[in-house]
């Protein structure tokens, strides 16, 4: 029997790649008159049919959360990012239903919001759950980026990211077991956003319990993210007209994973040093000295303003240690800006050799310097890669294509084959 599609989205925050992707999909669904509602813990609630839902529990729950996060942070080894499904805050699926009676629950990044065991106990066992992976945390005992560890394949025993305590040496393994019970009792359909994520999900012990696993790339609105006049954009941002402009962006400019320091190391000894200018967009300011002049564009989620930032640049530099996808690269490429990006995770799906940009090894300042010098001196190559980038973004990473694929999945799960 066919059922109308009605979607409830959950995302901890509307800020950052996962939150932005969730809101973009939601807005597309609303524009196409597909009933959709998004709930979040923190962020901007100005989007149509969105609402903030802090977890219940009051002051005591917030104090308990801070203590739990402090304790876990002390146990997490340097360079790790680890969150648990247990949480002092409570949220009930039922309390969301009076506002928006849905027949499909769509989860995005939901860490640090509510207790998973308590929440899933309120979700009917017949409700299909779409879970879009923005990192591997839903399939691990707590880590978000497992690195070389393959514990999520066979039980997360002896987790290398968390220091064991004498009375609790298997915290990650116990968290994975909690998640296993959720996967065993609910129809969960996992969506990976890259080939790397797809393979990791298929390899994982929890992925083998999922009702289905598929890949749907994240997408951008290629009408909002389009090439704009470089001279005008530089004028608007106060960026030098006579410099080689390198765009670099991150939610937190001091995030070690984004590797702004590697860009600085590459420029430090480069003959380009006096010709380059950094255009930084995101929150904060680098905690270390920069070898070249720089302009701070700040943080914004306005797509047209972001397209101005990208269009003011000659190249996007994205030397991340790891990216499950790499939405920033797609946004820049849609604006006709080639990307220099590391061969890691989902970035390998986006910058393919020298199609739309230049791919470099992770952590290789020398390769980054060579790529920058090459694109500085070879303007024909730079222009050619920019044109390729725009075509690649519009063909493979359009938001319309992403939305079409999600609607097809929703229809499959609701029995609506129309």
Q: Note the pLDDT of residue 251.
A: 87
User: What is the SS3 assignment for 218-285?
Assistant: CCECCCCCCCCCHHHHHHHHCCCCCCEEEEEEEEECCCHHHCHHHHHHHHHCCCCCCCEEEEEEEECC
Residues 324 and 191 in one domain: no
pLDDT of residue 381: 96
- If asked whether residues 294 and 154 sit together in one domain, one would say no
For 300-326, the DSSP string reads ---HHHHHHHHHH-SEEEE--S--SS-
Judgement on whether residues 132 and 175 belong to the same structural domain of the protein: yes
Same domain, 105 and 209: yes
Same domain, residue pair 307 and 361:
yes
- Give the distance between the most distant pair of CA atoms in the chain: 68
Range of 101's domain? 7-219+399-414
Q: Are 158 and 94 in contact (CB under 8 A)?
A: no
Same domain, residue pair 391 and 410: no
Q: Is residue 406 part of a domain?
A: yes
The CATH number of residue 348's host domain is 3.40.50.2000
**Do residues 366 and 355 both lie within one domain?**
yes
Residues 52-105 pLDDT 10s: 988 777 777 677 767 777 676 766 776 678 899 998 889 999 888 655 567 899
Same domain, 203 and 248: no
* Domain count along the chain: 2
Residues of the chain with pLDDT under 70: 1-3, 61, 65, 70, 72, 74-75, 78-79, 97-101, 165-169, 416-418
Q: What pLDDT does residue 363 have?
A: 95
Q: State whether 300 and 341 are in the same domain.
A: yes
pLDDT computed for residue 79 by the predictor? 66
Q: Report if residue 181 sits inside a domain.
A: yes
pTM, two decimals, is 0.91
In a domain? residue 224: no
Q: Which residue has the tokens 């360079």?
A: 79
- Residue 2, in any domain of the structure: no
Question: Which of 316, 323, 336, 314 has its CA nearest to residue 263?
Answer: 316
Q: In terms of domains, do 179 and 293 share one?
A: no
* Residues 198 and 254 reside in one and the same domain: no
Q: Do 258 and 199 sit in the same domain of this protein?
A: no
| Residue 90 host element (H or E) | none
């Amino acid at each position: 029997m066919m059922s109308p599609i009605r979607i409830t989205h959950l995302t901890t925050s509307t800020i950052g790649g996962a939150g932005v992707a969730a809101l973009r999909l939601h807005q597309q669904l609303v524009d196409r008159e597909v009933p959709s509602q998004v709930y979040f813990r923190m962020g901007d609630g100005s989007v149509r049919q969105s609402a903030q839902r802090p977890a219940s529990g009051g002051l005591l729950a917030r104090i308990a959360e801070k203590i739990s996060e402090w304790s876990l942070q002390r146990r997490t080894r340097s360079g790790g990012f680890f969150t648990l499904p247990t949480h002092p805050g409570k949220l009930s699926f039922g309390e969301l239903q009076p506002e928006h009676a849905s027949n499909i629950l769509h989860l995005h990044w939901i860490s640090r919001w509510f207790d998973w065991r308590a929440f899933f106990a309120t979700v009917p066992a017949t409700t299909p759950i779409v879970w879009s992976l923005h990192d591997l945390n839903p399939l691990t005992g707590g880590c978000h980026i497992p690195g070389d560890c393959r514990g999520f394949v066979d039980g997360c025993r002896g987790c290398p990211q968390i220091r064991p305590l004498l009375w609790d040496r298997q915290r990650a393994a116990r968290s994975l077991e909690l998640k296993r019970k959720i996967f065993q009792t609910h129809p969960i359909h996992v969506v990976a956003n890259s080939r790397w994520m797809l393979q990791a999900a298929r390899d994982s012990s929890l992925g083998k319990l999922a009702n289905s696993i598929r890949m749907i790339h994240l997408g951008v609105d290629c009408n909002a993210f389009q090439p704009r006049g470089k001279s005008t954009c530089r004028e608007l941002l106060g960026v030098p007209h006579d410099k080689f402009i390198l765009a670099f962006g991150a939610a937190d400019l001091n995030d070690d994973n984004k590797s702004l320091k590697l860009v600085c190391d590459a420029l430090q000894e480069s003959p380009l040093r006096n010709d380059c200018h950094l255009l930084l967009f995101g929150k904060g300011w680098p905690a270390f000295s920069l070898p070249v002049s720089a302009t701070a564009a700040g943080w914004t989620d306005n797509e047209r303003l972001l397209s101005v930032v990208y269009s003011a640049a000659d190249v996007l530099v994205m030397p991340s240690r790891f990216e499950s996808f790499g939405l920033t690269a797609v946004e820049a490429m849609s604006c006709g800006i080639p990307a220099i990006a590391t061969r890691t995770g989902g970035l390998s799906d986006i910058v393919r050799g020298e199609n739309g940009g230049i791919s470099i090894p992770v952590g290789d300042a020398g390769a980054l310097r060579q790529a920058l010098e090459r694109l500085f001196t070879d303007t024909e190559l730079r222009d050619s890669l920019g044109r390729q980038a725009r075509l690649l973004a519009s063909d493979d990473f359009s938001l319309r294509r992403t939305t079409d694929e999600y609607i097809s999945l929703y229809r499959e799960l609701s029995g609506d084959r129309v």
